[in-house]
């Protein structure tokens, strides 16, 4: 997937993600909603972590963090409806925005990995933040996204 975002004052204002093999394209602008190809998208209405399908990725060149990530993965697998490793973080966030995933978490992403997806998820009705808690920023770190604040908090609790 390819992604691009425009940030204003440290917050993505416009984002676009393209998946060339499938011809899918998502985009959003603050206050204008989120779109896939020519149709509006919205996060799922799934409630409860036990029913949630969660997207994730595995840290790149961070073998020293494998134990920490594995422990989180085991907790999330046991409590959720399932975990999927789809591809690029930007693409996984688009899947969250359109309701294919109900939540997303990944360790140690760079801003270029999630900036476009951030605005797309929020414009689709979802919420974003840091796994360790707090607001998301355009800096490297862990990222969490969900279809609702309650889902975000449930996933946050499992990811600690």
Report the pLDDT value the prediction gives residue 136, as an integer from 0 to 100: 93
| Residue 55 three-state SS | strand
The answer regarding whether domain 2-159 maps to CATH 3.40.190.80 reads: yes
d(CA 28, CA 125): 11
Q: Is 8's pLDDT higher than 90?
A: yes
When the pLDDT of each residue in the chain is averaged and rounded to a whole number, the result is: 91
Among 6-10, 72-76, 99-103, where is mean pLDDT lowest? 72-76
Report whether 4 contacts 120 (CB < 8 A).
no
Q: How many residues does the chain have?
A: 160
Listed by start position, the domains of the chain span 2-159
d(CA 97, CA 118): 9
What are 18-47's pLDDT values in tens digits? 999 999 999 999 999 999 999 999 999 999
Among residues 73, 79, 91, 72, which one has the least CA distance to residue 20?
A: 91
Q: Is 65's pLDDT higher than 80?
A: no
Report the pLDDT value the prediction gives residue 11, as an integer from 0 to 100: 94
| pTM for this prediction | 0.92
């Amino acid at each position: 997937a390819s992604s691009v975002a425009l940030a204003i004052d440290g917050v993505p204002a416009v984002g676009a993600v393209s998946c060339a093999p499938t011809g899918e394209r998502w985009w959003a602008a603050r206050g204008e909603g989120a779109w896939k190809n020519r149709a509006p998208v919205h996060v799922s209405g799934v409630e409860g972590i036990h029913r949630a399908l969660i997207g994730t990725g595995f840290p790149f060149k961070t073998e020293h963090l494998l134990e920490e990530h594995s422990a989180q993965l085991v907790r999330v697998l046991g409590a959720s409806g399932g975990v999927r490793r789809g591809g690029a973080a930007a693409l996984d966030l688009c899947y969250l925005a359109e309701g294919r995933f109900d939540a997303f978490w990944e360790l140690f992403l760079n801003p270029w990995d999630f900036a476009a997806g951030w605005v797309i998820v929020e414009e689709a009705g979802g919420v974003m933040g840091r796994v360790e808690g707090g607001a998301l920023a355009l800096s490297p770190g862990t990222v969490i996204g969900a279809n609702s604040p309650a889902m975000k908090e449930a996933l946050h609790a499992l990811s600690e």
